[in-house]
Structure 1
């Protein structure tokens, strides 16, 4: 066998000649000159060290070796064509998958809006949304389980990159009949004497809030500690206390008839970031979704 590599053009020429049983008709089919097709077949025969056709003055017959190789070569060309088509579809977002990890609030109240818009533009791309606990977002991005994540946990590690999407203010969520509703000016110290519902220690949102309040000498005592924001809202609605939550929960809280109040003495905010792996390239589909989120910076939910 020759050291030269078998080329896709050689395989296509051989298949066309075998199909048409003529160099002339094969050349027309491939839109090449007859001499070019003949050269390609000769090169393939030289590379394989086999005669593929018996050539006579007016007749052309495929050899036994050529007949045995023909099905394999057709499959090889078909497989390569499928790879080329798939890569083209991925590049143009004609197919593909985007996998996102997000905290429950972002997954439930923010991302569905963007998933719908993306699906209208790219209906054949599958979007997988993993609604997980806040601390799991960075873990899933780091391990490669998802393309990127949306979270509020501070990212200070070399394997991850964070793009700021938005900032949310912390507000007090309470029932409309709660005593604090009637206070003209509500301050953080007003919350030290009422039952507060909040996340467990170690939750990045709680840590951000507690650190900011500690600077002002304020400590909130949580009567109830739960994991999910939906549970917090439900407990507030049941009259078990008030909750300090971000404005991302506005739609859910007001839907249950609850009141959200700003705190007048100082503003505490949390950052919502898009988190990617620093050393891993995104697919064209994931990159397009990421770019949409970065450009929008969650602007649909800033009001």
Structure 2
């Protein structure tokens, strides 16, 4: 009967799968090889499914075993978490918290919060997993983290995103670059520049890779619109985008008139307009180097490989790679922001210790020495 299976079967199954043979698994578990072999045989007999293909030297998971392995890992993790919570409850507030977060959050926000938290809760154990935005959402969805703090991502079942703050984009360049002396830059200023960037697996890279993500916003049409409409376009309000589209259509009509009057001048005008409007997609040049790591990205900029576009908080991480060598210049017309938020599972309540920690993040983060441009919700 399936009810005869217990956590011991799960632990032995996962260990054999990880080690690749019974002898190594027995050593890890502190059991004899016959006991491990008997446990797996009983597991297979009760379920009626072969979990391993056996050879004289090693074992390999069957298709059924491969499909069951992540389930077994989750059951073990839930069991260990439950034991930890029970132990914490017996001693007062304590236990383990696993947080998946973006690099900029881990380096610029969480250290000060953790310092105060562990002083008040010495029994708490905290694990930090550095991941890009997509991986943070997946970690929460797969129960690999209690909660996450990262950028928005495509919707996943049972995952909730609650905005925490927004962060403006800008250019990170060397101090001797022509942009370093400017107070602000337009998106269209980036045309012709050598660009290095984060890959689309990161929240920032994905946002920058969206078709038309800056073409609608960084257009020379924007200055003719009122500030309120420009803000609405930046916020993605459909009606405002309609107004912008009409203005762009009028600009193209004007270019046709110019071309008919002066073919050479018209062509030059259209060339400039295409750069600004991003007729086929983003106006950003294609990156010559992509990476998943912000520190690596900053090192590339410091060596003169190119400039990059980053949110300001992420740009501050560059201080670790190239102290005082790089300059952040905000991008305007319009300002564009990424939204960082708390990612949780809708169907699972946070443990008491995880809830306390998250509450402290929300309370203390806005009081830290962070860029003044951050907008807290």
The number of residues matched between the two structures is 218
1:299 and 1:269 mapped to 2: Cα distance?
20
Do structure 1's residue 103 and structure 2's residue 167 form an aligned pair? no
2:216 and 2:365 mapped to 1: Cα distance?
29
Deviation at 1:153, TM superposition (A): 2.8
1:268 to 336, 351, 354: 336
Partner in structure 1 of residue 262 of structure 2: none
Partner in structure 2 of residue 285 of structure 1: 353
- Give yes or no for contact 2:133–2:201 (8 Å, CA) kept in 1: no
2:191 is paired with a residue of what secondary structure? helix
Deviation at 1:250, TM superposition (A): 4.3
1:288 and 1:188 mapped to 2: Cα distance?
41
1:215 is paired with a residue of what secondary structure? coil
Unaligned runs of 5+ residues in structure 1 are 1-82
Partner in structure 1 of residue 66 of structure 2: none
TM-score using structure 2 length: 0.54
Spell out, residue by residue over 1:252-285, the C-alpha distance to the aligned partner (whole angstroms, 9 max, x if none).
3353421110123210100111111110121110
- Give yes or no for contact 2:97–2:126 (8 Å, CA) kept in 1: yes
2:203 and 2:216 mapped to 1: Cα distance?
17
Partner in structure 1 of residue 291 of structure 2: 226
Partner in structure 1 of residue 214 of structure 2: 213
- Give yes or no for contact 1:165–1:298 (8 Å, CA) kept in 2: no
Deviation at 1:110, TM superposition (A): 2.0
Partner in structure 1 of residue 181 of structure 2: 182
2:110 and 2:154 mapped to 1: Cα distance?
20
Unaligned runs of 5+ residues in structure 2 are 1-84, 218-276, 373-377
1:247-258 matched pairs, under 5 angstroms: 247-254=312-319, 255-258=323-326
- Give yes or no for contact 1:152–1:270 (8 Å, CA) kept in 2: yes
- Give yes or no for contact 2:163–2:339 (8 Å, CA) kept in 1: yes
1:99 is paired with a residue of what secondary structure? strand
State the structure with more CA Rg. Answer: 1
Partner in structure 2 of residue 295 of structure 1: 363
Aligned CA RMSD, in angstroms, stands at 2.2
* Deviation larger for 197-206 or 241-250: 197-206
Spell out, residue by residue over 1:68-121, the C-alpha distance to the aligned partner (whole angstroms, 9 max, x if none).
xxxxxxxxxxxxxxx9875243xx42x311110112222222211211121111
- Give yes or no for contact 2:134–2:153 (8 Å, CA) kept in 1: no
1:174 is paired with a residue of what secondary structure? strand
1:121 and 1:147 mapped to 2: Cα distance?
20
Spell out, residue by residue over 1:142-193, the C-alpha distance to the aligned partner (whole angstroms, 9 max, x if none).
1111100111033534401122111111110000111222346521111111
Deviation at 1:248, TM superposition (A): 0.9
2:209 and 2:334 mapped to 1: Cα distance?
14
Partner in structure 2 of residue 137 of structure 1: 136
2:196 and 2:359 mapped to 1: Cα distance?
36
2:349 and 2:336 mapped to 1: Cα distance?
35
- Give yes or no for contact 2:132–2:201 (8 Å, CA) kept in 1: no
Evaluate the alpha carbon distance shift between residue 279 and residue 233 of structure 1 in structure 2; reply closer, same or farther with a 3 A threshold: same
